[in-house]
Amino acid sequence: MSTEPRNPEYAATVRRSFEAQGVMTLLGASLVEVAPGHVEIEVVPRPELSQQQSFLHAGVTTTILDSACGYAGLTLMPAGSEVLTVELKVNLLAPAAGDRVVARGRVVRSGRTLTVAQGDAYAVTGGDEVHCATITATLIRVDAPG
């Protein structure tokens, strides 16, 4: 699959969109890597993000995986594009705990209308990574407003 970006400003486009996502601020998520066809987002677990057992809520893990996949897709779209999630599927593999949880999204197929991305989340403690979730998402390109 070609991962040649058609939008030379792809990284700035992703960063601007990320900053416009209120929920990323609410979760305290940060954009740690933006490369063609590949994006990483991480979050630091804290009580406000937990489910009933104090692990990161599946919905929070899913939220950063979804955004990592969406932005991985956006890096390969032409300028003036926005990306929406059509559907996503996540398997939770292990409790999401640790110093931080990092979600890595990558493009599997980049079509004119639809993009398919996959991603994985890892719970990182010191130098140790535990694979805690995996996602497959279908994305659709739409024209950015204005």
Under the criterion CB under 8 A, does residue 140 sit at the interface with its own copies? yes
Figure out which of the listed residues 44, 58, 97, 124 binds its own copies, where binding follows CB under 8 A. 58
Under the criterion CB under 8 A, does residue 108 sit at the interface with its own copies? yes
Figure out which of the listed residues 3, 35, 82, 129 binds its own copies, where binding follows CB under 8 A. 82
Figure out which of the listed residues 9, 26, 33, 80 binds its own copies, where binding follows CB under 8 A. 26
- Per-residue x/- mask for its own copies, residues 31 to 50, rule CB under 8 A? ---------------xxxxx
DSSP string, 17-65: HHHH-HHHHHHT-EEEEEETTEEEEEE---GGGB-TTSSBPHHHHHHHH
The span from the CA of 20 to the CA of 13, in Å, is 11
For residue 22, count CB atoms less than 10 angstroms from its CB and return exposed for 0-12, middle for 13-18, buried for 19 or more.
exposed
Under the criterion CB under 8 A, does residue 131 sit at the interface with its own copies? yes
Under the criterion CB under 8 A, does residue 3 sit at the interface with its own copies? no
CA 76 centroid distance within chain: 14
Helix, strand, or coil (residue 73): helix
Which positions lie near its own copies, rule CB under 8 A?
1, 17-18, 20-23, 25-26, 46-53, 57-60, 62-64, 66-67, 82, 84-94, 108-109, 113-114, 116, 118, 131, 134, 136, 138, 140, 145
